[in-house]
Structure 1
Amino acid sequence: MKIVSAYFIKDDGNLVNTQNDIAINSCGRYELINLKEVKTFRPDGRDDFQLLYIAKGSANFCINGKEQVAKEGAVIIYYPGEDQNYYYNIEDCPIVYWIHFSGFDVIKILEENNLSNGNIFFIGINNSLTLIFDKIIKELQLTRMNYFQICNLFTKELMTLIGRYLIESGSDFHKQNKILEAAIDYFNEDFNKSINIKEYADRCNISCCWFIRSFKNYTGTTPAQYIINIRMDKAKSLLNSKSFTVSEVANIIGYDNPLYFSRIFKKNVGIAPTDYCMLRK
């Protein structure tokens, strides 16, 4: 499991800040690499607020006794004292950002951004959010002058942008995004099959050029590269298990030619599959 995280340490160890309208406690990113599953279970919750953003893959949450799958593009918010019960599976390839915060005006900020009614909100994939998370993490790690105040501003910006994207998700803009979300679901489901992007666009009665351009704006990569990324993530997971040969992995993820798979893997991962296996021993 790859963890990138940073914390604002206070002398009294108190997680609740009543001096600032919003105040950072910690921020980080989880990415499963070797562990098959990671669980978080806090029956009494925490003293502060928590927000999670599923930047990639999916995660599983139990909220009010109901199991729910949060797919990429989802935001999950926990209030102080709320039961927290969720877990990540390596086969879901999750990349999850999280942030803990408090402050005397947090509830008002959440209400202003339509984030006070419920726990799970879908806003779609947006690189600007992950950039803010990364900025907060870096500020907390470097602890330069005024880093606490800057982190608080970034946290407020994060809430405001999430509120904007939540509103946009109910507009015509969102209807277009539903097409892209359907494509993402399809690619994740049938990544090991032969997928022709033009044929897919034609089948959906949409322009291939529009689809490729819109998909790249939405995810940060082209449909073809997105499929390759899924295959490479699956390949790394299978190679990590040490249960399959390189040829078997190639066949499982949709490549008939192991040599071609090796070239694609090296181009996208940086090393050949055989070398990757050696590093994981």
Structure 2
Amino acid sequence: MYTNSAYWHQSRVDFKDKKHSLFVGSCGTYRLYTVKKLPTHRPRGRVDYQLLYIASGKAHFYFNGKEQIVSAGNMVLYRPKEEQRYYYYGAEHPEVYWVHFTGNNVKNILRKYGIADDVHVICSGISMEYKQLYQNMIQELQLKQEDYEELLVNYLRQLFILIHRQLLTKPRKKNPMIMDDMAQAVEYFRAHYNKPVSIEDYAASHNISVSWFIQNFKQYTNTTPAQYVQLLRTTNAKSLLETTNYNVSEISNLVGYENPLYFSRFFKKQFGVSPSQFRKQLLINEEIQPK
């Protein structure tokens, strides 16, 4: 299991903020590989809000005692004092991002972005932009640089805006078979992102044209197949920089880049710092954290 999280003032205790209209208290991510089951049950809920994004796989949630299986491309919203009961199973390979937030005007802010008071599951679609915003929040809350609290709120508002745009988009009539094909493509790229990937070969092996495949893949994920593979590589490279001692060249090779220099340049373009600079920032942050 891979986990990465961050908490305001290093405290896992939930709290209600009445001073700010919106305030981020904690955020993180889980990816299950070998752990068979990861349960969460808070019978009395929390005093803040929680927004979870199912980036891949699926998760099992309970609302009013009834189970609802939520697949990739959806978000789940819990409000204060609502019972929280949900389960992740390793066999279903869930990748989940979460953020807890509070404030004195949250209900009206959610309404502004089209999220009704009685909604629990939000059809957000799959997007690497969502993952990037969650990752930005995690990093910002870990590093705690100048004005980080304000930037966290800005990232969360960007997330709300993207959700709102998705909700306002008139849904096209979707062919279930096409959506299944695109879901299989997503899983294929997730499993093979660190190997040479040819979009043309994938399309040919499934007897479909490249242009048709790219168009439908983009409709399903809000990104092209090539962009999706690149972002998978840099995202997993970031995880390896955070959790292993592999050097930059080794990580470059592990995530599918033969040229470490190209990898470093592309990583910097995505995250604003080179892989070595990113790792140095993590080390500095660990040194200044209270023991």
- TM (norm. structure 2) is 0.66
Structure-2 residue corresponding to 1:124: 125
Greater CA radius of gyration, 1 or 2?
1
- Unmatched runs of 5 consecutive residues or more in structure 1: 230-265, 271-281
Q: Deviations over 1:16-50 (max 9, x none)?
A: 11111110000000001221110000111000000
Structure-2 residue corresponding to 1:70: 70
Q: Deviations over 1:79-126 (max 9, x none)?
A: 000011101011111100000000111101111122123100112101
- TM (norm. structure 1) is 0.68
Relative to structure 1, the CA distance from residue 162 to residue 37 in structure 2 (aligned partners, 3 Å threshold; closer, same or farther) is same
Structure-2 residue corresponding to 1:139: 140
The letter of the residue matching 1:42 is: R
Structure-1 residue corresponding to 2:179: 181
**Aligned 8 A contact 1:22 1:155 in 2:** no
CA–CA separation in structure 2 for the residues paired with 1:157 and 1:218: 20
The letter of the residue matching 2:135 is: D
Structure-2 residue corresponding to 1:211: 213
**Aligned 8 A contact 2:33 2:91 in 1:** no
CA–CA separation in structure 1 for the residues paired with 2:256 and 2:210: 28
Report the 3-state secondary structure (helix = DSSP H, G, I; strand = E; otherwise coil) of the residue aligned with 2:9: coil
CA–CA separation in structure 2 for the residues paired with 1:189 and 1:30: 17
Relative to structure 1, the CA distance from residue 188 to residue 132 in structure 2 (aligned partners, 3 Å threshold; closer, same or farther) is closer
Q: Deviations over 1:128-151 (max 9, x none)?
A: 111111111111000101111110
The letter of the residue matching 2:94 is: P
Report the 3-state secondary structure (helix = DSSP H, G, I; strand = E; otherwise coil) of the residue aligned with 1:59: strand
**Aligned 8 A contact 1:38 1:89 in 2:** yes
The letter of the residue matching 1:46 is: R
Report the 3-state secondary structure (helix = DSSP H, G, I; strand = E; otherwise coil) of the residue aligned with 1:152: helix
Larger mean Cα displacement after TM superposition, 13-22 or 138-147: 13-22
Structure 1 residue 222: Cα displacement: 3.5
Q: Deviations over 1:152-209 (max 9, x none)?
A: 11112211211111222x333xx36966533244568999xxx97457566xxxx552
What are the residue-to-residue correspondences of 1:6-25 with 2, within 5 Å? 6-9=6-9, 15-25=15-25
Relative to structure 1, the CA distance from residue 268 to residue 213 in structure 2 (aligned partners, 3 Å threshold; closer, same or farther) is farther
**Aligned 8 A contact 2:14 2:48 in 1:** no
**Aligned 8 A contact 1:201 1:211 in 2:** no
The letter of the residue matching 2:213 is: F
Relative to structure 1, the CA distance from residue 24 to residue 222 in structure 2 (aligned partners, 3 Å threshold; closer, same or farther) is same
CA–CA separation in structure 1 for the residues paired with 2:140 and 2:150: 10
Structure-1 residue corresponding to 2:42: 42
The letter of the residue matching 1:63 is: F
**Aligned 8 A contact 1:51 1:75 in 2:** yes
Relative to structure 1, the CA distance from residue 45 to residue 201 in structure 2 (aligned partners, 3 Å threshold; closer, same or farther) is farther
**Aligned 8 A contact 1:136 1:154 in 2:** yes
**Aligned 8 A contact 1:180 1:215 in 2:** no
Report the 3-state secondary structure (helix = DSSP H, G, I; strand = E; otherwise coil) of the residue aligned with 1:9: helix
CA–CA separation in structure 2 for the residues paired with 1:121 and 1:133: 16
Structure 1 residue 5: Cα displacement: 0.4
Structure-1 residue corresponding to 2:281: none
The letter of the residue matching 1:209 is: S
- Unmatched runs of 5 consecutive residues or more in structure 2: 190-200, 233-252, 258-291
Percent identity (aligned):
34
Structure-1 residue corresponding to 2:52: 52
The letter of the residue matching 1:167 is: L
The letter of the residue matching 1:150 is: L
Structure-2 residue corresponding to 1:254: none
Relative to structure 1, the CA distance from residue 126 to residue 177 in structure 2 (aligned partners, 3 Å threshold; closer, same or farther) is farther
Structure-2 residue corresponding to 1:93: 93
Report the 3-state secondary structure (helix = DSSP H, G, I; strand = E; otherwise coil) of the residue aligned with 1:70: strand
